[in-house]
Structure 1
Amino acid sequence: MRQTAWVVMGVSGCGKSAVGARLAQALGVRFIEGDAFHPPENVAKMSAGVPLDDTDRYGWLATLRSKIARAMEAGESVVLSCSALKRAYRDILRGNGANRDDVRFVHLHGDRALIAQRMAARPGHFMPPSLLDSQLRDLEPLQPDEAGITLDLRDPPDRLVEQALAALRDTRPD
């Protein structure tokens, strides 16, 4: 069986880290927390309530892509949490089209009010609730030709993991 990277994606506050960590545990693979690789300039910008632009995100996404590539070269599958808001960002994570099925996405999608409530309940997080609308504006849903699934974030994390595992079993590459 070939290695796969599963990217748990969505706007800030949707539960990427919680679901990603549980998914990695269920699969018996390493979990990579994408936010841990933001450069200090990005964290400072977001902390000040300024949305990141494509230029800000490029280096961060390239770093995450290199983490995926290194894991696969070492014969490992991984789960990564990353907003992956735009198709172009997901293309970077996929390696700009190379081995498209090696990177699959689990998009946690839901209602703005619920996400805002979750963000407000995270004191001390660098991403303020004021940036939610900019993320929602940037969000481009998965396209039919992108390997992945969209799940309703109203479900509890363990249920989301069950749904992701069921979908991944149905589409897992050989």
Structure 2
Amino acid sequence: MKAKNSEMRFGGFLSLMERRDTPMRAKELIDALSKKLQTNSQTKLAALLGLSVGTLTNWKTKNEALSPLQVASALAKSRSDAVHKAQLETIQPIVEFYAIEKCLSKREASWQIFSGGREALLYAQGLKAMLEDSFGISIFYDSRGQALCVGKAREQTLWKEMNLAFSRKRDVQTIALVHHSKRNQEFKPS
């Protein structure tokens, strides 16, 4: 009885394989992927799939049946591209090693890590604006590049979190002075 059941299951599998639909056409796959990934742009779709625009165009215009190897290759490229993109975009530094120039906040009677007001350089104004719009992790380094303080801003902006971390009361706190050149240039995230 067991042998007969396994034969039936195997036979059922074979008949399922025999009944499968016609091979997948390239145009159908591309249209389904465009819909699923919500893009009508060939360039965007090619980038999302990790394919060249030429390959995607060839597939669509020829509309031939895709081989399992072609589909597997496209999936593998897409996965590899997604991993690479995630590694590059997961952590985006806003600024690295910017000198702290404590100043009194005009609105509150507390210290700020630097002035980003109208009187400040364009770079400082842009940096402050970016920090006011961002959430994430902040790290304070000493003059040797060693991390002194790490903070996570989830509910308030990086600007607020960094200023709160800088202004907290501590038993022992020293500030290392480091000379940085001053330039009047626009802020551009790294």
Q: Which bin holds the TM-score, normalised by the shorter protein?
A: under 0.3
Going by fraction, where is strand more abundant, 1 or 2? Answer: 1
- Higher relative CO (Cα under 8 Å, sequence separation at least 6) belongs to 1
- TM norm structure 2: 0.22
- TM norm structure 1: 0.24
Going by fraction, where is helix more abundant, 1 or 2? Answer: 1
